[in-house]
A and B are shown apart, each in its own frame.
Chain A
């Protein structure tokens, strides 16, 4: 088993005053895709935001490559190699697609170049000169992932990438993320879409009311209907 790349221990955090974590522990090992499942408001987004310093961490520790992240500014965390893809995408709507990509671009260049990103997302090449705001939801989702890749992350935090997308777009997005997994990228994927998550993830956590309620392989989750019913269904 490879070493943990990201490790949260008993993290308490809040985003605003209504999204609160009550002691979340989870790990993502190098090269692994881990999914964080849960209903709306369960704490998925807050967990990811806590990692990149966008939520206030009030207790516990977050480690990345064995280094503690507390006290670091968001841009410093990003430069260590953590890429955050927010749920609401937050592309720069006034900027063109290429300009969006260049915001994340590293000086001196990382492993990801414009060419390589366009190779992964061919639609974006065709839209290169279009304003970000004119893209469809699915295109925006691809752009926000591509933009984050340009910053050359070792760990990608994806917050509900499939939300609000049509089924056929979700499938294409799944292909893209699978390709990233083959590249050896470590991914922490927050999702409500069980099918989407199952296709990509090695392991799953379930978060509910700011606490981790389940941790294990997908097979175990699939076998345990009571867990699914308790935390994921109505």
Chain B
């Protein structure tokens, strides 16, 4: 692999819950500009791994170096400040805030004005926030509360929030889970288009194989906390161990 171009280098990341090794020595390089999928059955450790990268869980060991900075051990807000952004498996938005305010909160944080006490927030970061909503196709929903948005729109809103710090690395945890079938491909195509246009590096988990094979440059397969395969989509599709994990062992 082209070491010099690696935006993120993960080495030997481990995490155990009780006696169970949820993430068991995961190592890989993620080059700049690549869109990579991380797939695997439920309980394989995908979300745990994401939470470790973004500071929401503490790893038992290993390193994750992003642009020469160690990510592991940083608080979530510090990870975000470095330009690493994420979405959540169960959609996480601010339910009582309007779509516009949802993005505004993230923008205000990015420009370091979250703690301004007396200026009305209404006039701040509006243009940039609206532009982000437009980009994900939510421009017409800006004034509606996130709590009443359709599920697909929430997923888009979360994407807009995640883009608010002009990230270089985007971590998407099941970006299309729970969406109607027709919407999924569209959202992922949109995500990929934005990523290419902004030269973002993307790591995403996903259960919808149509989405995975249509979007990812490369695929990694996680099973019981270990990476069992990594490669181009065509290679992974025919990988015998991957087949076994997904179909249930025939032997």
Find the residue from B90, B207, B237, B248 having the highest chain A CB count within 10 A.
Answer: B248
B42 touches A232 (CB 8 A): no
Across the interface, do A193 and B248 meet the contact criterion of CB distance under 8 Å? yes
Contacts of B248 in A (CB 8 A): 191-196
What 1/0 mask marks residues of chain B from 60 to 103 whose CB sits below 8 Å from any chain A CB? 00000000000000000000000000000111000000000000
Residues in B neighbouring A234, C-beta threshold 8 A:
39, 209, 212, 236-237, 242-243, 246
Please, which residues of chain B bring their CB within 8 A of the CB of A22? 180-181
Asked if A215 is an interface residue, CB under 8 A from chain B, the answer is: no
Pair A16/B90 contact, Cβ less than 8 Å: yes
Count residues of chain B with CB under 8 A from any CB of chain A. 29
A41, A191, A234: most-surrounded residue (chain B CB, <10 A): A234
Bound Cα distance A234, B177 (Å)? 16
B residues less than 8 Å from A228 (CB atoms): 247
B125 at the A interface (CB under 8 A): no
- Shortest C-beta distance, B179 to chain A (Å), equals 8
- The CA of A17 and the CA of B158, in the complex, are separated in Å by 14
Task: Judge if A39 is at the interface, Cβ distance under 8 Å.
Answer: yes
Q: List, in ascending order, chain A residues with CB within 8 A of B180's CB.
A: 20, 22, 209-210
Interface residues as binary, A156-198 with B (CB distance below 8 Å gives 1, 0 otherwise): 0000000110010000000000000000000000011111100
Q: Chain A binding site: helix, strand, loop or mixed by DSSP?
A: loop
Is B231 interfacial (CB-CB < 8 Å)? no
Please pick, from A17, A39, A211, the residue contacting B207 in the complex, using a CB distance under 8 A: A39
B-chain residues with CB within 8 Å of residue A2 when the two chains form the complex: none
Closest to B207 in A: A41
* B 89-132 binary contact with A (CB < 8 Å = 1; else 0): 11100000000000000000000000000000000000000000
Enumerate chain B residues within 8 angstroms of A192, measured Cβ to Cβ.
41, 248
Check if B1 is an interface residue, CB within 8 A of chain A: no
Give the total of A residues in contact with B, Cβ under 8 Å: 28
Would you call B249 and A17 a contact (CB within 8 A)? no
The answer to whether B178 touches A18, judged by C-beta atoms less than 8 angstroms apart, is yes
With A18-B90, A209-B184 in contact, is A194–B209 under 8 Å at CB?
no
Is B29's beta carbon under 8 Å from chain A? no
Contact with B along A23-58 (1 / 0, CB 8 A): 000000000000000011110000000000000000
User: Which B residues lie within 8 Å of A17 (CB)?
Assistant: 90-91, 151, 154, 178
Most B C-beta atoms less than 10 A away, residue of A39, A196, A209, A232: A209
Residues of chain B with a CB closer than 8 A to A41's CB: 42, 174, 177-178, 207-208
User: Contact: B246 with A233, CB < 8 Å?
Assistant: yes
In the complex the two chains form, what is the Cα distance from A210 to B181 in whole Å?
A: 8
- In the bound complex, how far is the Cα of B212 from the Cα of A181, in angstroms? 38
Chain A residues near B151 (CB-CB < 8 A): 17-18, 20
Q: Check: A154 CB closer than 8 A to any chain B CB.
A: no
Interface mask (B151-190 → A, CB under 8 Å = 1, otherwise 0):
1001000000000000000000010011111001000000
Residues of B bordering A, CB below 8 Å: 39, 41-43, 89-91, 151, 154, 174, 177-181, 184, 207-209, 212, 236-237, 242-243, 246-250
Q: Can you list 25 A-B contacts (CB < 8 A)?
A: A14-B178, A16-B90, A17-B178, A18-B177, A19-B178, A20-B151, A22-B180, A22-B181, A39-B207, A39-B246, A40-B41, A41-B42, A41-B178, A191-B248, A194-B247, A194-B248, A194-B250, A195-B249, A195-B250, A208-B181, A209-B181, A233-B243, A233-B246, A234-B236, A234-B246
Closest CB pairs A-B (n = 10): A18-B178, A193-B248, A41-B207, A209-B181, A40-B42, A40-B207, A194-B248, A234-B246, A20-B178, A18-B177
Known: A42-B207, A164-B43, A194-B247. 17 other contacts (CB 8 A): A17-B151, A17-B178, A18-B89, A18-B90, A19-B178, A39-B207, A39-B246, A40-B42, A41-B42, A41-B174, A41-B178, A193-B248, A195-B249, A209-B180, A209-B184, A228-B247, A234-B242
User: Residues on A close to B: CB < 8 A?
Assistant: 14, 16-20, 22, 39-42, 163-164, 167, 191-196, 208-211, 228, 232-234
